[in-house]
Structure 1
Amino acid sequence: MTTVAAYAAPAAKAPLERTTIERRAVRENDVLIEIKFAGICHSDIHQAREGWGEALFPMVPGHEIAGVVTEVGPAVTKFAVGDRVGVGCMVDSCRVCENCAAGLEQYCTDGNTGTYNALDRNGEPTYGGYSTHIVVDEAFTVRIPDGLALDEAAPLLCAGITTYSPLRHWNAGPGKKVAILGMGGLGHMGVKIAHALGAEVTVLSQSLRKRDDGLKLGADHYYATSDPETFTELRGTFDLILSTVSAPLDLDAHLSLLRSDGAFVNVGAPEEPVSLNLFSVIGGRKTLAGSGIGGIEETQEMLDFCAAHGLGAEIELISAAEINEAYERVLASDVRYRFVIDTATI
């Protein structure tokens, strides 16, 4: 065991504070990673404040981790000391179920092991990336290409793969009209990736406040959902709408924007239940779906794609002492577009 510095929430809704945690000794297939940067995801806030249900405390959030390997176990073959690596939202799975065998570890039928706020296969709590070091099995570690700066790469381990996976699954590309609902930490990466895939991209946001940013990042069109005319003008337009919004929506209104056989895919997860009139999907044979992150192979594919297209996240680099302020700013939509912690300040 090794003692390392971290920032943790001692209890639900409590401010995060500096502390120390224990990391396990490096096992046969493990890598020890010196964390350089950790992104702040809205999921961190949901979990630290028990918005998604009962959680484990003390909690060290953080599942957007970029760093450098400093030690490897004797059986490690994928990585060497000095490699630039990342860790996302999960650090283990059963590895034998149908989904794991298909490279869909995120949908492990036995439940994947979250990077934080989870119990590992030995019943020990997991702690995330708001810390100086982490020990992870090489099978759940990915390589960060040299073409990506580590600070801009960190948010790709959640925001990048969470948008890349459904965009690929629902075939965003040339000839497809794709709407990204929400222009935040997830949404801005959705715009970049959908554009790079060749789709015609529209941003749907509450206001036009971020319109210039959206167009700069690759959107072809930008509309405000607060304007009722938007739903009249765009009715029946889109092949795919990717919702990154973590607040309840009028699903019936948004489903009206789809073409026949279109799909409305949720990657944002509101804390409250939502309602739906089933005629909104029956008419037009529309799909209402959800998507999680991606498997390890797809996450590596996403990182390579982003490196090839120069797609890093748009970030605000902060010190660890600014984490609590950053949480409040995320809730106020006052970040462009992802806070990233310089873990050297922990």
Structure 2
Amino acid sequence: MGQTRVLTDPACCLHDTGTGHPERAARIEAVTAAIEAAGLRLESPTNLLGIPMVEWFLAVHEEQLVEQVRLPVPAGTLHHLDPDTPLCPETWNVVERAGRCVLRAVDLVLTGDATNAFCAVRPPGHHAESDRAMGFCPLNLIATAARYAQRAHGVKKVAILDFDVHHGNGTQQIFYDDPTVLYISSHQHPFYPGTGSRAEKGSGAGIGFTVNFPVAAGSGDQELLAVYTEQAKSHLDRFCPDLILLSAGFDAHIDDPLAYLTVSDAGFAALSRVLVGFARDYCDGKLVSVLEGGYNVDALSRNVVDHIRALQEGAS
């Protein structure tokens, strides 16, 4: 019988974004408290110092960006990489440890020690492009995980499914010409960051391996589920991934303050079951889910717990 592993790192609370910033430590504090209150096992992996995160970040990012994130920030100050993306003195430590957590989850799934895994980490990453941090995201964890799976484990084809309400411009840009990574995104459009139209399909050898499903403001459960059950599945059928990664953003929720979709708790739970089913159909259940957005902490916490339960059902 398979199992679901749920990973976090207490250091994720140390990334300080300043007063009033929506991507704040309270998000991960609420999520981890809800996971434990639900009786779900939450792990903080140790002995991960052997994972060379600089090397793996450089597999998807330009050196100048990685070095920007690594630069020391004076105590008591914030350094902004863009108006929305501050660094504090602890940010590099947090991003490095969150990255190790995600790569450990990939190890667990690809070595058979878990069927699937969820990573409760922050800051999010899917807006970070190869050479630019933006949108709360210093570096791109999901993109790093995809390259790690390919280079460290020999995985040939990775599908990244991104259901955050904001388009993952960074993940798209990193893999835009790569036919070995299928990037599928559902997102509110038009909306921040302005990318993610249906016309954006990849370039060169990667044409057809970027698939965008923009949805209009006000859309809810029915529209979001239809994206995956009626549209995304045909692309997965053709690609037949060896591993599925999820950019698991829960900010399409009706109560989220940063967007205008109307997805319910039940809608997210149903979507989670659909995505777990994809992993079962295409790659023996192998799936790693990484937290992205979600800024109403109560809704986020409930949706994460339901998401993990769907993963557990899929692993049993």
Both proteins in one fold, TM over 0.5? no
Which category describes the TM-score, using the shorter chain as reference length? 0.3 to 0.5
Higher helix share: 2
